[in-house]
C-alpha cells in the first residue's frame, strides 16, 4: 500500500528507516545522550546524513519513572519539532506520544506522524491525526496502561490479538478521518509482552503484513533480544539485526531504529534476496 | 556457432522512411555481448551506462531489415537493443552459421543492415574475468586496427583458437564481420574501451558495395 505520512508519500515498495531521537534524560538505550536540545538536533542531522527517512521524537521514556505531564512533554518536544521541521523539510517527523493534546501541538509544529506506542490509551489521538491529515501508528499493547511493564500477561494467541487490536485501531482511525494510506500497524515488541510473545510476533510477522496495513516494527536493542541472547543493552545490535532480517523477509515497511546504517543494509539485503529490490550495481560475471 | 535472425525496424518504417532497396548502402554495427545490457540483470545503478548509450545510438542508426550475427547470448543482447530502439522481431527463424562462411563476399550478404555482437578478449587485467593474459593486448590491438581501417581480410583471419584462450566474445562473428565490411568506409567509433578488463567496441560502418 502506498504510504502517506503527513506531507510525504512513498511508493508501495519503499522501506523506511525511522531513527529514534529521545528528548529524555533517561531512555534505556542512550541514557540521556540527546536530552539537551542541541544534542538531539545533532542526532537528527546525523541520522538524516545516514539516510533515515524518518525521525521518531519522544519526550517520555517508555519505562515507568517520574511523572511527566502534558505540559512538560510539550516543553520537551513541540519547539524541537518546529526546529527540525524548518531545518529538514524533506524529513518525515514522527512524535512518540499517546496524548491527544501533545499530538495536536506537535502537528501544529510540523509533525507528520503520531506514533501511539501505547495502543490508543487516549482515544482522541486518532481524531487529532485526522484533523491534521497526519499518519498514525496503531500499536498493540494488550491493553496495559502507558509506561507499565508487562506482568504475567498471557494470550491465547498473541499474533491474533495483535492483529485484532491493531487492525481495529487502524479502522477506527480511518473512520475518524485518517487517510487509509496513513494508518500503520505495529505489533509493539515487548509492550505488554514477554520475550516469548515478541519472538512469536517476529516469527509470524507475515500474518500481520497479510492484513494489508503497512507494518512498522520496533525491535531495536529491546529486552526480548537481550533475554534471547543473554546480553545487556549495548550488546544487542547483532540480535536486533537478526530480528530485523526476519521482519524484513516478512515484508515490514518501517523500522524504528537506533542504528540507521546497519538496519538499512540488512533491510536492503533481505528485500533484494526476496526479489523486491534490485541490487545496487551488478556487473560480476556480466561483463 | 553464429546465427542470423531477421528483424524489421517497424518504427522507422512507420515513420515513413524509405525502405531499403538493393542500391542503398549497407549499414553494419558492432556491439559487445555484455549481459549487463539485459534488463533481467538491471541494478539500481547502471554499471554500463556509457556503453549502453553508445549501443543504443549505434543500433538506432540501422535501417530496414536487420540481420543479427551473434551467438546465443549475443542474440539476446541484440534483440534487446533492437526492441529498445523501436524494432520488432520478424520471423522467428534463425540460421545456423559456422565460422567457415566468414570469407563470403559482400554480394552474398544481401542488402540488409547487420548487427554484429562480438567483443575482444576478457583477459586485460588482474581483475578481468579471465585474469591477466599479456597476449590480450596484441590480439585486441590487431582487431582494433582492422575494425578502424577497415581491413575485412584481417578480420576474417582472426585466430579463433587464440581468441578462445583469451575469452574473446564470438570470434566467429568478428570473422564474419570481415566479410560484411567489403566496401566499407572508416567507421564511426561510438565506444572503444575495456572498463572491466574486457575489450568492447561499438562501431558503425557504411558499405557502398
Average pLDDT, consecutive stretches of 10 residues, N- to C-terminus, chain B (209 residues): 41 36 80 98 98 98 94 98 80 35 35 92 97 98 98 98 98 97 96 98 93
Q: Which residues of A touch B35 (CB under 8 A)?
A: 285-287
Beta strands B65-70; B113-117: pairing state? parallel
> Among residues A105, A117, A10, which one has the least CA distance to residue A54?
A10
Q: What is the pLDDT of residues B67-99, one digit of tens each?
A: 999 999 999 999 999 999 997 545 323 433 433
Residue A286 lies in a domain: no
Instruction: Report how many domains make up chain A.
Output: 1
Domain that holds residue A139: 3-273
Contact flag A287-B196 (C-beta cutoff 8 Å) = yes
**Nine-digit cell at B83?**
526492441
ipTM of model over 0.90: no
Q: Which burial class, exposed, middle or buried, applies to A98 when counting CB atoms under 10 A from its CB (0-12, 13-18, 19+)?
A: buried
Do the beta carbons of residue A137 and residue A186 sit within 8 Å? Answer: yes
Residue A146: CATH number of its domain: 3.20.20.20
The residues near B161 (Cβ < 8 Å, ≥ 6 apart) are: none
Please, are residues A218 and A188 in contact by the beta-carbon 8 Å criterion?
yes
Q: Is the pLDDT of residue A249 over 90?
A: yes
Provide the shortest C-alpha distance from residue B109 to chain A (in Å). Answer: 30
Among chain A residues, CA nearest to B127: A284
pLDDT value for A192: 94
Whether residue A46 is contained in a domain is answered as yes
Q: Inform me whether the C-beta atom of residue A11 falls under 8 Å from chain B C-beta atoms.
A: no
Quick one: pLDDT at residue B100? 30
Closest-CA residue of B relative to A280 is B44
pLDDT at B78: 98
pLDDT in the model for residue B16? 34
Alpha helices in chain A (DSSP H): 37-49, 70-87, 100-109, 125-131, 158-176, 195-203, 205-209, 223-229, 237-250, 260-273
Pairing outcome for strands A92-96 and A16-22? unpaired
Q: What is the pLDDT of residues A169-210, one digit of tens each?
A: 999 999 999 999 999 999 999 999 999 999 999 999 999 999
Q: Quote the CA–CA distance of A48 and A50 in Å, as a whole number.
A: 5
Which three cell numbers, joined as nine digits, stand for B68?
543479427
Query: Is residue A134 domain-resident?
Result: yes
Chain A hits for B44, Cβ within 8 Å: 277-281
**Which residues in chain A are contacts of B198 at CB distance < 8 A?**
287
Kindly list the residues from chain A whose CB atom is less than 8 angstroms away from the CB atom of residue B45: 280-281
In this structure, is residue A280 part of a structural domain? no
Q: Would the CA dihedral through A25, A31, A37, A40 be positive or negative?
A: negative
Q: How far is A16 from chain B (nearest CA, A)?
A: 17
Residues 6+ apart with CB under 8 A from B3: B68, B69, B70, B71, B72, B75, B94, B95, B96, B97
Q: Which of B41, B49, B119, B195 to mutate to test the interface with A (most CBs of A within 10 A)?
A: B41
pLDDT at A11 over 80: yes
A66–chain B Cβ distance below 8 A for any pair: no
Q: What pLDDT, on the 0 to 100 scale, is given for residue A1?
A: 65
The verdict on residue A236 lying in a domain is yes
Query: Tell me, what's the pLDDT at B79?
Result: 97
Question: Does residue A216 form part of some domain?
Answer: yes
A18 within some domain: yes
- Smallest CA–CA separation between B69 and chain A, in Å? 19
Could you tell me the three cell numbers for A91? 524529513
From the CA of B83, how many Å to the nearest CA of chain A?
20
Contact status of A282 with chain B (Cβ, < 8 Å): yes
Q: Do B117 and B75 meet the contact criterion of CB atoms below 8 Å apart?
A: yes
Which residues of chain A does B47 touch, with a Cβ-Cβ cutoff of 8 Å? 281-283
- B190 within 8 A of B58, measured Cβ to Cβ: yes
HSE (CB half, 13 Å, CA atoms) of A120? Answer: 22
Of A281, A283, A286, the CB nearest to B44: A281
Q: Which contacts qualify for B186-193: CB closer than 8 Å, 24 or more apart?
A: B186/B148, B186/B149, B186/B150, B187/B147, B187/B148, B187/B150, B188/B58, B189/B148, B190/B54, B190/B55, B190/B57, B190/B58, B191/B50, B191/B51, B191/B54, B191/B55, B192/B144, B193/B51
Strand partners, B8: B65, B88
Q: Which residues in A lie closer than 8 A to residue B48 (C-beta atoms)?
A: 283
Name the residue with higher pLDDT: A236 or A24. A236
pLDDT tens digits for range A98-150: 999 999 999 999 999 999 989 889 999 999 999 999 999 999 998 888 988 89
Please choose, from the candidates B44, B171, B7, the residue with its C-alpha nearest in 3D space to the C-alpha of residue A278: B44
Rounded percentage of chain A residues whose pLDDT exceeds 70: 100
What region, left, alpha or beta, does residue B90 occupy, with left being phi > 0 and alpha being psi -120 to 50 degrees? Answer: beta
* C-alpha distance from B196 to closest chain A C-alpha (Å): 7
For A280, the closest of B45, B48, B129 (CB atoms) is B45
Nearest residue in B to A281, CA atom: B43
Q: How many CB atoms sit inside 10 A of residue A175's CB? A: 10
**Are B43 and A286 within 8 A, CB to CB?**
no
**Residues of chain B whose C-beta is under 8 A from some C-beta in A?**
34-36, 41-48, 122, 129, 196-198
Whether pLDDT at A84 is above 80? yes
Residue at A282 is within a domain: no
The alpha carbon of residue B34 is apart from the nearest alpha carbon of chain A, in Å, by: 5
Interchain contact A51–B (C-beta under 8 A): no
Strands A216-218 and B65-70: unpaired
Amino acid at each position: 500500500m502506498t504510504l502517506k505520512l503527513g506531507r510525504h508519500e512513498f511508493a508501495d515498495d519503499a522501506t523506511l528507516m525511522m531513527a529514534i531521537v529521545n528528548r529524555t534524560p533517561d531512555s534505556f538505550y542512550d541514557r540521556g545522550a540527546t536530552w539537551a536540545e542541541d544534542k538531539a538536533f545533532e542526532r537528527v542531522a546525523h541520522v538524516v546524513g545516514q539516510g533515515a527517512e524518518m525521525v521518531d521524537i519522544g519526550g517520555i521514556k517508555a519505562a515507568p519513572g517520574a511523572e511527566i505531564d502534558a505540559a512538560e512533554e510539550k516543553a520537551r518536544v513541540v519547539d524541537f519539532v518546529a526546529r527540525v521541521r524548518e531545518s529538514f523539510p524533506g524529513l518525515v517527523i514522527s512524535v512518540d506520544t499517546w496524548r491527544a493534546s501533545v499530538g495536536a501541538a506537535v502537528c501544529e509544529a510540523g509533525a507528520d506522524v503520531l506514533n501511539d506506542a501505547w495502543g490508543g490509551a487516549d482515544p482522541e489521538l486518532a481524531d487529532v491525526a485526522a484533523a491534521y491529515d497526519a499518519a498514525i501508528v496503531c500499536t498493540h499493547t494488550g491493553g496495559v496502561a502507558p509506561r507499565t511493564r508487562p506482568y504475567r500477561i498471557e494470550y491465547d494467541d498473541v499474533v491474533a490479538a495483535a492483529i485484532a487490536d491493531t487492525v481495529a485501531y487502524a479502522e477506527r482511525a480511518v473512520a475518524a478521518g485518517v487517510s487509509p494510506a496513513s494508518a500503520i500497524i505495529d505489533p509493539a515488541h515487548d509492550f505488554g509482552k514477554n520475550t516469548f510473545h515478541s519472538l512469536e510476533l517476529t516469527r509470524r510477522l507475515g500474518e500481520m503484513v497479510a492484513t494489508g496495513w503497512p507494518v512498522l516494527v520496533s525491535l531495536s536493542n529491546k529486552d526480548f533480544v537481550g533475554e534471547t541472547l543473554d546480553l545487556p543493552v549495548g550488546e544487542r545490535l547483532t540480535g536486533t539485526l537478526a530480528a530485523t532480517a526476519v521482519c524484513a523477509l516478512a515484508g515490514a515497511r518501517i523500522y524504528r531504529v537506533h542504528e540507521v546504517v546497519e538496519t538499512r543494509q540488512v533491510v536492503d539485503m533481505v528485500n533484494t534476496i526476496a526479489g523486491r529490490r534490485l541490487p545496487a550495481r551488478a556487473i560480476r560475471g556480466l561483463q | 556457432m553464429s546465427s542470423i535472425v531477421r528483424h524489421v525496424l517497424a518504427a522507422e518504417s512507420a515513420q515513413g522512411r524509405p525502405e531499403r532497396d538493393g542500391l542503398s548502402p549497407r549499414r553494419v554495427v558492432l556491439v559487445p555481448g555484455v549481459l549487463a545490457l539485459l534488463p533481467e540483470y538491471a541494478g539500481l545503478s547502471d554499471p554500463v551506462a556509457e556503453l549502453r548509450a553508445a549501443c543504443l545510438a549505434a543500433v538506432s542508426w540501422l535501417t530496414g531489415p536487420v540481420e543479427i550475427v551473434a551467438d546465443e547470448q549475443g542474440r539476446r543482447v541484440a534483440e534487446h537493443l533492437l526492441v529498445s530502439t523501436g524494432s520488432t522481431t520478424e520471423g522467428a527463424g534463425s540460421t545456423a552459421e559456422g565460422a567457415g562462411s566468414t570469407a563470403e563476399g559482400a554480394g552474398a550478404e544481401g542488402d540488409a543492415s547487420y548487427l554484429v555482437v562480438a567483443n575482444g578478449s576478457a583477459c586485460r587485467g588482474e581483475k578481468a574475468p579471465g585474469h591477466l593474459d599479456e597476449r590480450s593486448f596484441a590480439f585486441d590491438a590487431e582487431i582494433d586496427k582492422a575494425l578502424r581501417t577497415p581491413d575485412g581480410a584481417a578480420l576474417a583471419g582472426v585466430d579463433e583458437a587464440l581468441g578462445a584462450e583469451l575469452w574473446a566474445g564470438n570470434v566467429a562473428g568478428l570473422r564474419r564481420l570481415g566479410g560484411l565490411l567489403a566496401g566499407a568506409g572508416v567507421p564511426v567509433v561510438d565506444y572503444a574501451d575495456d572498463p572491466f578488463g574486457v575489450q568492447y567496441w561499438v562501431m558503425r560502418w557504411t558499405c557502398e558495395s
